[in-house]
Structure 1
């Protein structure tokens, strides 16, 4: 049969029942088409959480990829790189989440929540509705690459069957302001604050928090007509202000991760100046004293940072990943002009970075690698 989606549901059901009992096997099976995904959902009423996948750019060497409708994914469980037909992500920049959803921003300046395995899309207000727009002409490609730097969700869109969709926060614009919106809103609402230059945002214990470029933690009041950001805590001691900062929930605590990097002048003509990560430092926040304490050991946990909402997993649940390590992708504010991608694994105990590389799948100015947690 030429079209796998036309297989009778009874046959698909029989095949699915013979899959190995591993979440990533179910996830890859569901990637075939909507009908296969639908069968698996009927078999598994609960949301299946899989190990994090790395979503890569389209290949430059395969003709079918030039159409822009196929993306490559790397599954750490199976150590396989596979291709997936995903037209909803065509010519979009994507951000990952731990809920199985992506945030996409396309050349028409539309923004969506996208569940890649089911291909369900939920519309958010367009980029044109942000209050503070760039002045002067700008190409659609540059808007996609640089206008929005972060997204964070207040909850998992998959659990909102009653139509109540989650609140989304974004960091956007030339000086990295904050804005919020929900599906169905006509526009993004700016967050009132005395400063800007935010680097990361997270929804933690019922509140949005944001970290500024100088390490100041702010809490965002969103249940008001005019959302506001208020100073909540000073930076940790001895941070390097030229670092990049991330917020992540780890073992029930709010943590800030400092990512330090240096500029490298490459020796070969094919590699020019680029940023390269040198180390990470993890700080845990104490809500009683409003102070930060350095975390020297993540135990059996691994963190995932980069072009995604930062998240942690237990390596007891996902043994294919290394404990006490940080997995990171390249989210520097450059344009991938040269053949280098700052992506790898940082071993905290040995203070060592191990780079990983997927040939030209990862080298794209327009479509950067992202981690996300796939769900059916």
Structure 2
């Protein structure tokens, strides 16, 4: 059989130009080998933009399912669900980013940055290098994967190192949700001001990390010091509900906070007590007054929240998405059975939720659904 990687570049280029105009087709093409990937990268300007993908659990219908090497993805651009061979994500829980990379935490307790389309991995310090390990001494690896980390955020795109430096990665970890930072090549994670805890989200914005606590307090994180520390930066909005969940997201150069409210439901005979999303409230931050203002219209933008670094897109660039809406996934810490998954599309103007519907075998309490922005 001929070695496809040895085809002349001009032949590969001709084949690539005849692919269907779907991002997942280019993704599969680019993963054949390095030479094919190189051709696709040169054609980036001619390829339609990658819209956010929803990464689901592995498909049990695939022969590789038992090996854990197959993951299912939903592409909104094409309204298609497809399976993708990704052995690097085997036995891992994943978090998404807007840079095309995933954060993976495996049953071997190792943590990686993973670019799923090229399958490139970058190692980060492992889980045992975090402080406060005694809280989880009795936990098995699977339980750790499900509950140890809340969020990750990157300071930059790992594919484009700034000044030759690898990006900083910040994590919310542990039972009390502390902060810690590390870079590829570090031996351990460095904790941030352990007197502060109970964080719910983090973001790198205008050159600084910001974190939001469970009571809505915004803090700025100083990382360029021997001992990183968190400093109170702004109080929560006056009418915020402290039992909600909070997210930080950048939109058109401004910092926003999103409040996600829940209703506790226990009236379904086959599903135990669980929290179900009921509504969202969006706030924009004013750095001059250090105050939040409620926003009722995102214009032609949509937000993506959940097991990912929160991000926004313009629906003018991606018309397949609904404007003034919030796309959200199930990032609860509760261990629900497969029959329930709290994710959908929230219409801000109409205050309605349209749920995502997938087969149960594509949902998992171990590997929760996650949004990310694919890149080649």
Deviation, structure 1 residue 22: 6.1
Moved more, 109-118 or 42-51: 42-51
Check the 8 A contact 1:344/1:355 in 2, yes or no: yes
Equivalent residue number for residue 234 of structure 1? 235
Q: Secondary structure of 1:374's match? A: coil
Cα distance in structure 2, aligned partners of 1:184 and 1:359:
40
Moved more, 19-28 or 155-164: 19-28
Cα distance in structure 1, aligned partners of 2:132 and 2:279:
34
Equivalent residue number for residue 307 of structure 1? 307
Moved more, 223-232 or 37-46: 37-46
Q: 1:49/1:222 Cα in 2 relative to 1: closer, same or farther (>3 Å)? A: farther
Q: 1:80/1:21 Cα in 2 relative to 1: closer, same or farther (>3 Å)? A: closer
Cα distance in structure 2, aligned partners of 1:154 and 1:10:
37
Q: 1:4/1:192 Cα in 2 relative to 1: closer, same or farther (>3 Å)? A: same
Equivalent residue number for residue 244 of structure 2? 243
Q: Which runs of 4+ in 1 moved over 4 A?
A: 1-10, 20-25, 31-35, 45-49
Check the 8 A contact 1:193/1:229 in 2, yes or no: no
Q: Secondary structure of 1:292's match? A: strand
Deviation, structure 1 residue 356: 0.8
Moved more, 101-110 or 328-337: 328-337
Equivalent residue number for residue 295 of structure 1? 295
Equivalent residue number for residue 159 of structure 2? 158
Q: Secondary structure of 1:157's match? A: coil
Equivalent residue number for residue 215 of structure 1? 216
Cα distance in structure 2, aligned partners of 1:56 and 1:36:
27
Residues 88-167 of structure 1 aligned to structure 2 (within 5 Å): 88-133=88-133, 134-160=135-161, 163-167=164-168
Q: TM-score, normalised by structure 2?
A: 0.94
Equivalent residue number for residue 190 of structure 2? 189
Cα distance in structure 1, aligned partners of 2:296 and 2:254:
15
Structure 2 gap segments, 5+ residues each: none
Which deviations, in whole Å up to 9, do the C-alpha atoms of 1:147-203 show, x marking residues without a partner?
Answer: 111000000011128742100000000100000000000100000153210000000
- State yes or no: 1:68 paired with 2:68: yes
Deviation, structure 1 residue 335: 1.6
Deviation, structure 1 residue 24: 5.5
Deviation, structure 1 residue 60: 2.8
Deviation, structure 1 residue 327: 0.1
- State yes or no: 1:201 paired with 2:202: yes
Q: Secondary structure of 2:145's match? A: helix
Equivalent residue number for residue 57 of structure 2? 57
Cα distance in structure 2, aligned partners of 1:47 and 1:144:
36
Check the 8 A contact 2:307/2:370 in 1, yes or no: yes
Check the 8 A contact 2:338/2:360 in 1, yes or no: no
Q: TM-score, normalised by structure 1?
A: 0.94
Cα distance in structure 2, aligned partners of 1:221 and 1:48:
38
Structure 1 gap segments, 5+ residues each: none
Cα distance in structure 2, aligned partners of 1:341 and 1:178:
27
Cα distance in structure 1, aligned partners of 2:125 and 2:106:
12
Cα distance in structure 2, aligned partners of 1:295 and 1:25:
38
Cα distance in structure 1, aligned partners of 2:8 and 2:162:
28
Which deviations, in whole Å up to 9, do the C-alpha atoms of 1:236-290 show, x marking residues without a partner?
Answer: 1111111000000012110100000111123333x33221100000011100000
Equivalent residue number for residue 360 of structure 2? 360
Which deviations, in whole Å up to 9, do the C-alpha atoms of 1:101-137 show, x marking residues without a partner?
Answer: 0000011100000001100010000011001213432
Residues 250-329 of structure 1 aligned to structure 2 (within 5 Å): 250-269=251-270, 271-329=271-329
Q: 1:50/1:354 Cα in 2 relative to 1: closer, same or farther (>3 Å)? A: same
Moved more, 89-98 or 353-362: 353-362
Q: 1:161/1:212 Cα in 2 relative to 1: closer, same or farther (>3 Å)? A: closer
Cα distance in structure 1, aligned partners of 2:101 and 2:53:
12
Deviation, structure 1 residue 351: 0.2
Equivalent residue number for residue 350 of structure 1? 350
Deviation, structure 1 residue 13: 2.2
Check the 8 A contact 2:22/2:48 in 1, yes or no: no
